[in-house]
């Protein structure tokens, strides 16, 4: 029997849709890519239309629809939380509850209303797996393991904030869970907020800022001690209790009690876009280290109670690649696999897989040594017809290079000459990382390139690091990590032979002076702590992207490139040909590749009415 299951996540952040046909992940995409609203939480009607069109299906041909959490259970948590904290939270109560009574409480009816727009008059069954079961399913079922421990960590779903499960064959068994309001994800987001970044998107910035805090700094140690004595009660199994006097997220409209935090840390909350002081960097490092400690302890508990030597992970905290690396280095697991769309977008995929394997009891196909995510290249491709329409609409100029080998050879030459290239080739990535199909690429050997891309192309903070995309077979020539890292979910130290020793006074320098110090032979992808967020590129999974890096290596001897997402600050990754062209024209990109068309920025003299980008908020 053929099973065609649509998975949906919506109404919190990063709405998405995914389609499974007979266990195969056919298509998946976030709604933000179509609406151009970053982290769009709206019902993912555009993403649903895309995944159905990609498969050539009509709505009535679906076996089932699966929504990524249980709204009634989440509503119960809201009511019980407001009751427990009353009379605090009255303002928040009057903000949240009317929306639930109008719409969210009746999610099944709301789903059917939206799906009818797709011509969905058929009475397709709708399943509602719990939020963390959706995360667990997204991690286990596409993994290359028949059996594994499953660790899911995020802000909050219904009640659970962390779960430890055991996956075997078709089955997932929930063994332990940590419940709201005690949450590693919300703890990390509280510090994200206090340090002036936006919750649910600025956590990456906090992680990137942390290495600027000196490891042995006295202030960092004091901050860390205060977190563990005043804010967090950390137990031996990795479970935590938060001191809710310091937090407002349970019933308030903000994350933290700023008055108490300022008294505790002696540091006022940083204003968005405000100056970043050394104390801010030290506080970022302190919470990053605490988070790593908690996550490693949770992973050890998962290993102890499951007895498994394999671990899979999902949930927003699983995108903290530094913490993931600490688990790998801890050595209690032989293999680790992490869902590349680990956040709420991936919940759509997990919901569909849970419906398939748990509700419908369909057999699971496992490919040892190979995951089922197809490199996360599950979104729409940019077609030749779409590119030609953009050329005509904007009076643009481009060169068509039919042969892929000739195209990658030409782009390799441009990159070797110091140009920055927007690269759109093949299907768009699912999840937060650009993995070589919607990417901005450049030469990692150029010590000016990090600042140039951050400030002139992406229009974002200059301290943000970039990832290296390296030929999988060449990774050992540059980096200490030996295992593949296809989804940028682990960091690694560079080999000592690749590094340049910093002057003894380096840590006393202001942030942006430290950035200008060359640390390795590939400085544009080397963070201040000599680490890099690694992407290994396999020839079979990414044949054209692999060929491009190979061509660059033939010219330069360097088998890696800077790979960062093709978007400007405050915008989602580009999806369509028009998205890519507009971003190209509004920023400091030198060249753009879409499908087999090559655009040179200097030759777009006929293009009219495209304004340059302004500084966009997060």
In CATH, what number is assigned to the domain containing residue 77?
Answer: 3.30.420.40
Alpha-carbon span 385 to 520, nearest angstrom? 43
| pLDDT recorded at residue 79 | 73
pLDDT (tens digit per residue) in 69-92: 988 777 777 777 766 666 665 666
Residue 221 lies in domain: 184-335
In a domain, 499, yes or no: yes
Query: What is the pLDDT confidence band of residue 1, given thresholds at 50, 70 and 90?
Result: low
- Tell me: pLDDT of 432 over 60: yes
pLDDT (tens digit per residue) in 386-404: 999 999 999 999 999 999 9
DSSP 256: B
Alpha helices in 467-542 (DSSP H): 511-515
Alpha-carbon span 128 to 109, nearest angstrom? 13
- Tell me: pLDDT of 243 over 80: yes
- Bigger pLDDT: 479 vs 462: 479
Alpha-carbon span 72 to 83, nearest angstrom? 16
- Tell me: pLDDT of 153 over 90: yes
Average pLDDT over residues 148-153: 98
| pLDDT recorded at residue 455 | 87
Alpha-carbon span 420 to 411, nearest angstrom? 10
In a domain, 286, yes or no: yes
In a domain, 160, yes or no: no
- Tell me: pLDDT of 30 over 50: yes
Residues 256 and 351 in one domain: no
Residues 212 and 254 in one domain: yes
Average pLDDT over residues 410-434: 98
Alpha-carbon span 550 to 562, nearest angstrom? 14
Reading the block at residue 467, the tokens are 């990832």
Q: Give the Cβ contact number of residue 446 at 10 Å.
A: 17
Residues 433 and 544 in one domain: yes
Q: Give the Cβ contact number of residue 504 at 10 Å.
A: 7
Query: What is the pLDDT confidence band of residue 62, given thresholds at 50, 70 and 90?
Result: very high
Residues 307 and 215 in one domain: yes
| pLDDT recorded at residue 615 | 44
- Tell me: pLDDT of 617 over 60: no
In a domain, 166, yes or no: no
- Bigger pLDDT: 376 vs 217: 376
Residues 361 and 297 in one domain: no
| pLDDT recorded at residue 102 | 64
For the chain, the domain total comes to 3
Kindly tell me the sign of the dihedral angle through the C-alpha atoms of 558, 563, 569, 571: positive
Residues 78 and 119 in one domain: yes
Alpha-carbon span 390 to 610, nearest angstrom? 13
- Tell me: pLDDT of 506 over 70: no
| pLDDT recorded at residue 217 | 84
Range from 59-63, 212-216, 265-269 carrying the lowest mean pLDDT? 212-216
DSSP 397: -
In a domain, 615, yes or no: no
| pLDDT recorded at residue 103 | 64
| pLDDT recorded at residue 611 | 65
- Bigger pLDDT: 455 vs 407: 407
In a domain, 170, yes or no: no
pLDDT (tens digit per residue) in 314-346: 999 999 999 999 999 999 999 999 999 999 999
Residues 197 and 279 in one domain: yes
Query: What is the pLDDT confidence band of residue 93, given thresholds at 50, 70 and 90?
Result: low
Range from 152-161, 200-209, 421-430, 512-521 carrying the lowest mean pLDDT? 512-521
The residue from 281, 313, 335 where one domain ends is 335
| pLDDT recorded at residue 105 | 67
Residues 408 and 362 in one domain: no
In a domain, 172, yes or no: no
- Tell me: pLDDT of 509 over 80: no
In a domain, 149, yes or no: no
CB 301 within 8 A of CB 237: yes
pTM recorded for the entire structure: 0.94
Which residues, 6+ apart, have CB-to-CB distance to 595 below 8 Å? 381, 382, 383, 384, 386, 387, 424, 425, 577
Is there a cis peptide before residue 87, judged by omega within 30 degrees of 0? yes
Range from 24-38, 224-238, 517-531, 544-558 carrying the lowest mean pLDDT? 517-531
β-strand pairing of 491-493 with 531-533: antiparallel
Residues 397 and 355 in one domain: no
Residues 9 and 127 in one domain: yes
Range from 152-156, 220-224, 604-608 carrying the lowest mean pLDDT? 604-608
The percentage of residues in the chain with a pLDDT greater than 70, rounded to a whole number, is 92
- Tell me: pLDDT of 313 over 90: yes
- Tell me: pLDDT of 360 over 90: yes
Residues 86 and 199 in one domain: no
Alpha-carbon span 339 to 334, nearest angstrom? 17
Query: What is the pLDDT confidence band of residue 497, given thresholds at 50, 70 and 90?
Result: very high
Residue 152 is inside which H or E element, if any? Answer: strand 147-153
Residues 479 and 538 in one domain: yes
Q: Across the chain, what does the average pLDDT equal?
A: 92
Task: Give the CATH number of the domain where residue 390 resides.
Answer: 3.90.870.20
Query: C-alpha distances in angstroms, 595 versus 382, 385, 598?
Result: 6, 10, 8
């Amino acid at each position: 029997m053929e099973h065609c299951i649509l998975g949906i996540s919506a109404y919190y952040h990063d709405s998405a849709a995914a389609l499974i046909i007979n266990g195969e992940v056919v298509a998946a995409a976030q709604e933000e890519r179509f609406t151009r609203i970053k982290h769009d939480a709206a019902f993912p009607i555009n993403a649903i239309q895309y995944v159905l069109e990609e498969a050539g299906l009509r709505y009535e041909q679906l076996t089932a629809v699966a929504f990524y959490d249980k709204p009634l259970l989440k509503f119960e948590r809201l009511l019980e939380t407001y009751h427990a904290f009353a009379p605090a939270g009255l303002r928040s109560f009057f903000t949240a509850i009317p929306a639930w009574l109008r719409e969210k409480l009746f999610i099944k009816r709301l789903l059917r209303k939206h799906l009818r727009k797709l011509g969905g008059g058929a009475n397709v069954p709708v399943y509602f797996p719990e939020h963390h079961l959706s995360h667990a399913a997204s991690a286990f079922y596409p993994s290359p393991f028949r059996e594994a421990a499953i660790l899911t960590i995020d802000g909050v779903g219904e009640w659970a904030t962390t779960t430890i499960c055991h996956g075997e064959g078709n089955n997932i068994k929930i063994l332990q869970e940590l419940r709201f309001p005690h949450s590693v994800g919300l703890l990390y987001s509280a510090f994200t907020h206090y340090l002036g970044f936006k919750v649910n998107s600025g956590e990456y910035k906090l992680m990137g800022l942390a290495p600027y805090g000196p490891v042995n700094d006295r202030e960092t140690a004091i901050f860390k001690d205060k977190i563990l004595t005043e804010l967090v009660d950390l137990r031996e199994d990795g479970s935590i209790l938060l001191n809710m006097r310091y937090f407002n997220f349970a019933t308030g409209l903000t994350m933290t009690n700023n008055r108490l935090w300022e008294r505790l840390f002696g540091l006022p909350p940083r204003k968005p876009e405000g100056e970043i002081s050394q104390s801010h960097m030290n506080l970022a490092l302190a919470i990053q280290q605490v988070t790593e400690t908690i996550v490693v302890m949770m992973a050890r508990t998962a290993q102890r109670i499951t007895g498994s030597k394999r671990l899979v992970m999902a949930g927003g905290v699983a995108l903290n690649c530094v913490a993931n690396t600490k688990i790998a280095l801890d050595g209690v697991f032989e293999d680790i696999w992490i869902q590349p769309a680990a956040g709420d977008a991936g919940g759509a995929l997990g919901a569909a897989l849970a419906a398939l394997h748990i509700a419908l009891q369909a057999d699971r196909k496992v490919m040892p040594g190979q995951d089922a995510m197809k490199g996360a290249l599950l979104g729409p491709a940019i077609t030749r017809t779409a590119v030609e329409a953009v050329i005509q609409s904007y009076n643009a100029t481009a060169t068509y290079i039919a042969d892929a080998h000739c195209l990658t050879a030409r782009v390799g030459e441009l990159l070797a000459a110091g140009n920055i290239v927007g690269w759109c080739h093949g299907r768009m990535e699912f999840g937060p990382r650009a993995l070589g199909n919607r990417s901005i690429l450049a030469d990692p050997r150029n010590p000016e390139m990090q600042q140039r891309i951050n400030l002139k192309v992406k229009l974002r903070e200059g301290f943000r690091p970039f990832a290296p995309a390296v030929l999988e077979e060449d990774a050992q020539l540059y980096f200490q990590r030996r295992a593949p890292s296809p989804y940028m979910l682990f960091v690694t130290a560079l080999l000592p032979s690749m590094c340049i020793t910093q002057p003894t006074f380096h840590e006393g320098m202001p942030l942006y002076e430290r950035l200008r110090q060359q640390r390795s032979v590939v400085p544009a992808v080397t963070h201040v702590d000599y680490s890099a967020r690694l992407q290994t590129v396999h020839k079979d999974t990414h044949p054209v992207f692999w060929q491009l890096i190979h061509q660059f290596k033939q010219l330069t001897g360097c088998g890696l490139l800077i790979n960062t997402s093709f978007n400007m600050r405050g915008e989602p990754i580009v999806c369509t040909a028009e998205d890519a062209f507009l971003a190209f024209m509004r920023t400091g990109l030198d060249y753009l590749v879409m499908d087999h068309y090559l655009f040179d920025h200097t030759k777009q003299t006929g293009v009219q009415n495209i304004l340059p980008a302004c500084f966009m908020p997060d």
